[in-house]
Amino acid sequence: MFYEPASGHPLPHNPFKAIVAPRPIGWISTRGAAGDNLAPYSFFNAVSDSPMQVMFASTGAKPDRDGAKDSVAQIRETGVFCCNLVSYDLRDAMNASSAPLAAGEDEFAAAGIDKAECRTIDCPRVAASPAALECRVTEIIALKGQHNTMVLGEVTGVHIDDSFLTDGQFDVTRAQSLSRLGYRDYAAVREVFALSRPGQR
Ligand SMILES: Cc1cc2nc3c(=O)[nH]c(=O)nc-3n(C[C@H](O)[C@H](O)[C@H](O)COP(=O)(O)O)c2cc1C
């Protein structure tokens, strides 16, 4: 089959997110005048490693925020955010934190998620997350469409829970890092294999 998205799609549900899958989940924590905030974003990825930079994109807006969701609104205030890794064990907490709470309602408290403090930025992080990236905004870009916003940030601090290190490597299968697929589906990393690049030994 073939279709042009500008004319809709012929399937019961839009397959776009199932095609661009798996997507890592940036569990974004922020602190603003309204308080602390936490929400998952799967339009999330690393975009460079020297310096380390990440992006996430927010689509849509909340009625109590001016054309944004809480995360972007808070980041516009402070210029900082933290990306917490979602392990399989944290799946229900992550999902609970996606509830559209009113601005100023703290998802950490609402979902019973313990906080820790970031070190290079004034921002909370998820204490139980196997790894977290503290970030300073480099750019906020308005994307095509209504309320589509991309936030880019440079990583200024990296937290790793030592119990997820095996022989000095971050053990993604121990974390069973969660990623988002299409529809209501998720995947957990339980099996990995290695390939050497051409010319690598
Ligand atoms: C796994 C998962 C991934 C999500 N990814 C995104 C995303 O990439 N962009 C987005 O705008 N909303 C995404 N959402 C929905 C937001 O988490 C939801 O709108 C949340 O209420 C936003 O919170 P905030 O207003 O506190 O930022 C996702 C939800 C889940 C459960």
In this predicted model, what pLDDT tens digit does every residue of 41-80 receive, in sequence order? Answer: 999 999 999 999 999 999 999 999 988 999 999 999 999 9
Confidence check: pLDDT of 201 > 80: no
Nearest-atom number in ligand 1 for the CA of 43 is: 8
CA 194/CA 140 separation, integer angstroms: 35
Nearest-atom number in ligand 1 for the CA of 65 is: 25
Which among 42, 56, 94, 105 is the best mutation to test ligand 1's pocket, defined by most ligand atoms within 8 Å of the CB?
A: 42
What's residue 200's pLDDT? 87
Among 52, 93, 191, 76, smallest CA distance to 139 is for 76
175 Cβ contact list (under 8 Å, min separation 6):
85, 87, 88, 130, 131, 164, 189
Residue 71, token pair as written in the block: 């995360």
Say which amino acid occupies 18: A
Residue 163, token pair as written in the block: 């119990």
What's residue 66's pLDDT? 86
Residue 22, token pair as written in the block: 């798996």
Residue 33, token pair as written in the block: 């005048």
**pLDDT band (50, 70, 90) for residue 23:** very high
Confidence check: pLDDT of 169 > 80: yes
Q: Is the pTM of this model over 0.75?
A: yes
Distance of CA 12 to the CA centre of its chain: 27
Residue 24, token pair as written in the block: 């890592």
Going from the Cα of 103 to the center of ligand 1, the distance in angstroms, rounded, reads 14
In this predicted model, what pLDDT tens digit does every residue of 99-157 receive, in sequence order? Answer: 999 999 999 999 999 999 999 999 999 999 999 999 999 999 999 999 999 999 999 99
Please give the CATH topology (third level) of the domain spanning 21-188. Answer: Pnp Oxidase; Chain A (2.30.110)
